[in-house]
Structure 1
Amino acid sequence: MKKIILGLSTLCFIAFSSCKDNAAKKIEESNIAAAAERDATASKFPVIEFDKKEHDFGEIESRQSVETVFKYTNTGDAPLVITDIKSSCGCTVPQDWSREPLAPGESGQFSVKYNGSGSNKITKTITVTANTEKGSEVVKITAFVKPDPNKVKSNS
């Protein structure tokens, strides 16, 4: 039994010491430099900056369709890719944005249409999903929708 334990111990010692030598030989300066450059590039993100974060349509008639444009610039250090733009409800429709990468310093835009549904003060959010550090940005539209004069009020 002692011979088996001694034999296994010797085998483990040889295996561990031979791996140590091989691992040290595989490290090359070019690999270290490439890894450092990759890590530096990975920490660079695009930054999306909007010309406005909120647009107020003011007072509008009920069911009056209105539209605005949000302009943005990539002020970061990497190409900006917008993967999706969604609104908080179906009455607000974002459209016309580029799915192509936007280089640092370049600008783009998208439009938002609101169909005038609802009444009184409304606020709708539009979420822009992109490859920024946060992953998404939010812009808003607001309006005061006047009551529809053709709508009959019931007395019940």
Structure 2
Amino acid sequence: MKKIVLLAALAIFSVTATNAQTKVKKVKKVTAAKSVTAKLPSIEGAGMVFENETIDYGTIPHNANGKREFVFTNNGNKPLVIESTQGSCGCTVPTPPKEPIAPGASGVIGVNYATDRVGPFTKTVTVKSNAAGQETKVITIKGTVLPDAPAAPATETKS
């Protein structure tokens, strides 16, 4: 009789221990799934996240290429539409994407600064879009345009 009770108790203990391990494994899987989901965008509607909100041209020569690109990603769940872009002056000309940016996709806003103006500069581009919570976003370009090097004096040639 003692052997039967002992055997029964051992069997119940084994089944309980096995179920407990299975439940722990399930909890771990659910926790891992929640942490992955937490990294996904939680923006309802369209969203806009820039890789860099400021582009530093550094020190560039007079009349150098003034074209740069701002790269952004739609981190929302609806298409992002750039409605307009406006430079802070006529020397800064932005070029927005013409098509909507799908959720998870990236887009580019081109900016051309007129490098015929010598000296330091800081200019902004105002971006208007349907991004939830930030319908207007300001991005910045900055740098310094060097003057042309002075011409070397002409040397006289003796004949």
CA RMSD of aligned residues (A): 1.9
The sequence identity of aligned pairs, in percent, is: 36
Unpaired stretches in structure 2, ≥5 consecutive residues? 1-42, 151-159
Q: How far does the alpha carbon of each residue in 1:72-127 deviate from its partner, in whole angstroms, 9 at most, with x for none?
A: 110012211101111101111112x3232222111111211111143332101011
- 2: distance between equivalents of 1:117 and 1:46? 38
Runs of 4+, deviation exceeding 3 Å: 147-150
- 2: distance between equivalents of 1:65 and 1:115? 8
2:125 — aligned with what? 126
1:17 — aligned with what? none
Paired residues, number: 107
Question: Structure 2 counterpart of 1:76, which letter?
Answer: G
1:89 — aligned with what? 89
Q: Using structure 2 for the length normalisation, give the TM-score.
A: 0.60
Would you say the 8 A contact 1:91–1:117 is kept in 2? Answer: no
Q: How far does the alpha carbon of each residue in 1:35-60 deviate from its partner, in whole angstroms, 9 at most, with x for none?
A: xxxxxxxx933110111111111112
Residue 99 of structure 2 aligns to a residue whose secondary structure is coil
Alignment of 1:1-156 (within 5 A): 44-95=44-95, 97-132=96-131, 133-149=133-149
Q: Radius of gyration: which is bigger? A: 2
Residue 80 of structure 2 aligns to a residue whose secondary structure is coil
Question: Structure 1 counterpart of 2:127, which letter?
Answer: V
Q: How far does the alpha carbon of each residue in 1:6-43 deviate from its partner, in whole angstroms, 9 at most, with x for none?
A: xxxxxxxxxxxxxxxxxxxxxxxxxxxxxxxxxxxxx9
- 1: distance between equivalents of 2:65 and 2:106? 27
- 1: distance between equivalents of 2:98 and 2:88? 21
Unpaired stretches in structure 1, ≥5 consecutive residues? 1-42, 151-156
The answer to which of 102-111 and 57-66 deviates more is 57-66
